[in-house]
Amino acid sequence: MCSCRRPSATTALVLVLLWLYYTPCRTFSLAFNLNFSDPSAFSSIITAGDASISAPTLELTKNARQFPDIRNSVGQATFAHKVQLWSSSTGEMASFTTNFSFQITPAPGAYNIPFPYGDGMAFFLGHFPTAIPQNSSGRNLGLLTDFTAGIGDGRIVAVEFDTYSNPIYDDINGNHVGIDVNSLYSMASTDTTTSPGKNLSSSIVMEATVTYHNDTKMLAVDLLISDALYRVNATVDLSRILPEEVAVGFSAATGLSAAGPQQVLSWSFSSTLPDLPTSNSYKKLVKILLSVLVPVLFFLVCAVMVWRRHRKIRANEHGQEQCVDRAGLERGVAAGGPGRYTYRELVAATSNFAEEKKLGRCGFGGVYGGHLTLKHAADSRAVAVKMLSAESSAQGRREFEAEVRIISRLKHRNDLVQLLGWCDSRKGLLLVYELVMEGSLDRYLYNNDRCLTWPQRYKIILGLGSALRYLHREWEQCIVHGDIKPSNIMLDSSLNTKLGDFGLARLVDHGTG
């Protein structure tokens, strides 16, 4: 026969850390794919300025078919939702790839525009939601105002497809791709006229791919015009430039002397943001945890095991003591004395110790009224149930045992509160008394509405004296009550005295002082 043992907590922790060490990082991802010949794509785009969607294209500036003058036009079109670019909580940066097909066509000849291509368009990342700056037409591509830098909500990172030369911005020529960071002075650019007939102004549908790698912080652009491939890249730490959540989209503008339609036909975007630190730093962290936490936790597990074993031994000893106590208590109760009740019986008698049944408080708990069918009796009787304490209270248990042992051996007398039963349960130690209707003497002494007459006071004193005489002289041993006070002197409906609460009582032999 074989036996199976559960793995220790230390072993389980090591397995979890090793699993984390060899588990790839979780990521958050975003992806969409829009084709503007499909009207369902329209709801995913927010347009601003002169931008509009007219299937099968996303028009970034004024549509030459609808407007008599397309000069000085500015428009933006962005994805309708925020894109998380980096995380301040983990310090992680997203990687992304975007692909889009677009076309820059000349303005119709009727417009008599000197440069029918212009001024250009850009893919950009910026504040969400975007706002087109004032005076941002023409050479500013709808991104910035003349000679200003992107600050605050105006920060941008853009890839410009420029079809007009602006020496003021140090453009390399009138047909180039550039990478812009908070400025229209490109930090990197490439000439797109090196393949004849295959440039931004060739009226050809072009394919652009923009990628960003979070590990190298490299922003790279590939532009495919027919079979001609143009490339440009730059190192950009986007987390130092842009907010955590950004808008992504397109911006374009025309000017006075350079104007032409600029259209996007399709657009896809995907990004991934690691939920945990990057692989190398993550594994390094786990190694540190393994080397530090495992010895500490091994020590803690050993300490817990020793403590649990010690507690189990103590519990066994305590359980044995309780069994001995209960057996001794039952033997100590005089024959025909108070009966033992279950906790469930007393719960039922007091309506689960309902607040409205509460008669008052004693030193270690509350006193509740109720009705209980007594042992060896068929009828129900009004009782008072005193809950001394939880079983773990040593003082409460001593009082409980003293009261049961002493009162059960006394003769039934009218000047002593009769103990009818008891309960020794894990949920509490309870004593069941006869219900004395008028309650305790302190109700009369400290209540101006219930004043006692002098004859009544004298009667109460005589009754108390009778009870004490019996306890001190007339029983086989002298019983020292030890707690005579108004709250322990009960009064029946005729104001006869009944002494109760023998929790502090002790037995003394006659003649010993």
pLDDT in tens, 404-452: 888 877 777 788 888 888 888 878 888 898 898 888 888 888 876 778 8
pLDDT > 70? residue 171: yes
Active site members: 483
CA 3 and chain centroid, separation:
40
Q: Which residue has the higher pLDDT, 31 or 330?
A: 31
pLDDT > 90? residue 248: yes
DSSP 225: E
DSSP 99-159: EEEEEE-PPPGGG--SBSS-SEEEEEEE-SS--PPTT--GGGTTT--TT----GGG-EEEE
Q: Which residue has the higher pLDDT, 255 or 74?
A: 74
Instruction: Count CB neighbours of 129 within 10 A.
Output: 12
Residue for token pair 């594994």: 283
Class of domain 335-508: mainly alpha
Please state, in angstroms and rounded to a whole number, the distance separating the CA atoms of residues 65 and 361.
92
Q: What average pLDDT does this structure show over 294-308?
A: 82
The amino acid present at 302, given as its one-letter code, is C
- At residue 9, the pLDDT reads 54
Q: What average pLDDT does this structure show over 354-369?
A: 81
**27-276 belongs to CATH 2.40.240.10:** no
State whether residue 489 is helix, strand or coil: strand
Q: What average pLDDT does this structure show over 112-123?
A: 85
Give strand ranges (E) for 146-261. 156-162, 176-181, 188-191, 206-213, 218-225, 228-235, 245-253
pLDDT in tens, 210-245: 999 999 999 999 999 999 999 999 999 999 999 999
Residue for token pair 């108070």: 338
Average pLDDT across the chain, whole number: 84
pLDDT in tens, 19-37: 555 555 556 789 999 999 9
pLDDT > 70? residue 391: no
Given a contact cutoff of 8 angstroms between Cβ atoms, the answer to whether 264 and 57 are in contact is yes
- At residue 381, the pLDDT reads 86
The CA R_g of the chain, rounded to the nearest whole Å, is: 46
Considering 67-76, 293-302, 390-399, the range whose residues carry the highest mean pLDDT is: 67-76
